[in-house]
Amino acid sequence: MSAIPPPHVAQAAAIVDGWLREVENRQLTAEEIRKLSPAEKLDYSRKFNQAGMPAWQDPRTMK
């Protein structure tokens, strides 16, 4: 078995990889953001907008 994939397989993998990178880095619209759960909003803000993150609070001190 060869360690190098056939050219058509490598080309297909490059296309899929490019598409996945594009989808991962797509910014959501305001409507899509409104539909996110609080946890998803936090993950999204961590990914794209560090300034909009809520301040960290120690869960042991929260009541």
Q: What is the pLDDT of residues 17-50, one digit of tens each?
A: 888 887 777 788 889 889 999 988 888 877 776 6
Question: 50 is written with which tokens?
Answer: 């560090």
pTM of structure = 0.43
At residue 33, the 3 state secondary structure works out as: helix
Q: Is the pLDDT of residue 52 over 70?
A: no
**Residue 29: CA count within 13 A, CB half-sphere:** 2
pLDDT > 90? residue 51? no
